[in-house]
Every structure is written in structure tokens, then in C-alpha cells.
Copies of this chain bind each other. A is one copy, B any other.
């Protein structure tokens, strides 16, 4: 096998499955959705264009949900339902990019790998601050940035930011007239503290049904803020770039909002057990690691992470994501959204790889 053949890319691993492959790669729940999709859509007969911002019934229920879950009061008109959190984030960045050319967007590093790409796709420039927040650095850099993206619980670290840190970031960015985009798609998966959702005039919140209800493939997310003008701008873009989010998934999403909270809590306990389990494995391997407070990722320090990810894939049938893809060279991202038995099998293989190094 030549070196060229051993190159790995994120695209190679999306939806990658096989009888002997253990995947710590994909960032999506393996647990099933909370109900039978066919049942929900049994007599569904809408087929015409829907409203660009989303179906009224879904938005009305979302408004209540946002109030009770995130403590945020928001007008129904200021919620826009999107093709997943990806489009929500893209629309927010797009809106910002249209204000002036060459805007700067502040990202915490390590970052979810789409962040810098989306900034660049939108003709803007990414700048970075440490994910282990230094408020002075945020203050300085947000002065010349048009927006900042935060992500708590975070991909790829699994870390959560404390409430007072989130509040301080919100105040600093507001003082600097910097839009604060808060990506909270992992909000239902926190293991140590309750999720805190930043609030303020400059805050734009991104969320999704994907991670909470195991619906990644159906692509339903949403974006909201208190800023009428900002949201009108987003709606104006979406009216041309994709129109309404598909009605089938919106119907499924509506049904999700009636799922008892216990279901979400039960799922969280499953992920907590997996977290504790994979954490013990990694400690046993003597790798440096911070215990993640949320999401379903661990990010141990491994040394040559790109080589390790390549070797693990080509020689051990184990998918992991090298930290390089997230601005975290030397670290390896492992998703623990898979059953304990598979975690065990995957970690045994990783152990045997490390043992012969």
C-alpha cells in the first residue's frame, strides 16, 4: 500500500460502515429516534411551499420550548427553522458577511471543523482565541471582529463553558458590537452542570433536533435572536437560497417537542455511562485527557495524531478523527456515540496499536 492511499479525509468517513469497522468518527447519536417515523407521517398530505421561516405550529411550540429549556423569551417571528444547524450557522454568517467586505470572525480553537470553512465560504476571515477562554484575549480580538462563534458543550473537546464565563463573553462582545453566535446543538448532553444559554441583544442562538432526537439525516435546526433586523436579513437570504425547510422533517420535529423529557434524560444517562467508560479506557492507556463535561467526544493527546488516525483506520479498521481537522494537532477525537461493547472492541484495538509503538 502506498503512502498516497493512506490519506484520510472527513468525507471518507461520513456514513462509513462495515462489519468489522469500529467507528469513533461520526458525530451523531446511534440511539434511535423517539418514535416511528412512518407513523408520524402516515396521513401527511401537505406538499406545497411552506413559509420560509418554518411552519407556524412548529415555531409556536419551539417558542415555548426555547422559553422553558433555555430561559429565553423570543418572538415567534424571530425563530427561523433551517436545514439543520449547518444551514442555521451558514445563514447567520452570511447575514454578517453582507454588512461589509472582509469581516473577521473570532473562533475558539480547537473548533468544529466546519467553522473556519463556513467563515471562508462566506468571504470572511477566521481569527482564533483559545477554547480554554482567556477573557482578555477575547476582549482584544472581538474589538476588530464582526462576530464570534462559541460552542458549549463543544465539539471536539466535549468541554462546557461555565455560566459566568459565558456571561462575560456575552458582555464583552456586546460592548464591542460583535455578534455572538452560540451553537448549542449539544445542549441536552451535559454531565456535570445544567446547560446555560447566553442571552443578550447581540446573541444569535443556533440549535438542532439532530443530536437530541437522533435525527441527523432529517436536517432540522433553527436559529433565533432578539434582533428583528438580523432575523429579517436571515429570512431574506433563505427565501432565495433554499426556501422553506422540508415539510416532512418539520412535521417529525414538531412531534419531537411532545416527547417526554424523561426520554432525553434517559439518553443522557446512556451517554454519561459511555463517557465514563471511554474515559477509564483512555486513562488506562496513559493518555493525557480532560474529562468531557458534555457532548459525546473525548480528545486525548496522542502525539502524531494524523499518523495514528491513518494507521488505526488502514491497519485496525478503527475510525478516529485526527485533531488536525479541528485545529488540535497532536490530539485524536473519539466520538463515544456507540454501544459499550463496540467501545471496548475499538479501545482494545487502539491498545494493541499503542502497545507495539
Residues of A near any B CB (own CB < 8 A) = 10-11, 14-15, 26, 28, 30, 32-33, 37-38, 41-52, 83-84, 86-87, 90, 94, 97-98, 101, 114, 117-118, 121, 123, 214-220, 235, 237, 239-249, 252
Contact = CB atoms under 8 A, between A and B. Distances in A.
A249 B246 CA distance: 8
A123 B121 contact: no
A344 B114 CA distance: 52
A186 B134 CA distance: 55
B94 A240 contact: no
Nearest to A112: B240
Contact of A47 (B47, B215, B235): B215
13 contacts: A11-B52, A37-B45, A37-B47, A41-B41, A47-B214, A83-B246, A86-B243, A87-B242, A217-B247, A218-B248, A246-B246, A248-B252, A249-B249
A51 B15 CA distance: 7
A30 B47 CA distance: 9
A288 B246 CA distance: 39
Contact of A240 (B15, B98, B114, B235): B114
Contacts of A214: 47
B240 A90 contact: yes
A-B CB proximity, top 5 nearest: A248-B248, A114-B240, A217-B247, A38-B42, A90-B241
Nearest to A217: B247
Nearest to A42: B38
A316 to B, nearest CB: 23
A117 B240 contact: yes
Contact of A121 (B84, B98, B118, B235): B98
Contacts of A45: 37-38
A121 B217 contact: no
A241 B11 contact: no
Nearest to A26: B49
A217 B49 contact: yes
A11 B239 contact: yes
B216 A47 contact: yes
A15 B49 contact: yes
B86 A216 contact: no
Contacts of A32: 47
Contacts of A249: 246, 248-249
A238 to B, nearest CB: 9
B14 A242 contact: no
Contacts of A215: 47
Given A49-B28, A50-B217, A123-B123, A246 B243 contact: no
Contacts of A246: 83, 217-220, 246, 248-249
A242 B217 contact: no
Contact of A123 (B87, B97, B248): B97
Nearest to A238: B86
A32 B216 CA distance: 29
A110 to B, nearest CB: 17
A121 B242 CA distance: 13
Contact of A48 (B11, B216, B244): B216
Nearest to A50: B217
Nearest to A244: B217
Nearest to A122: B123
Given A86-B240, A246-B83, A37 B44 contact: yes
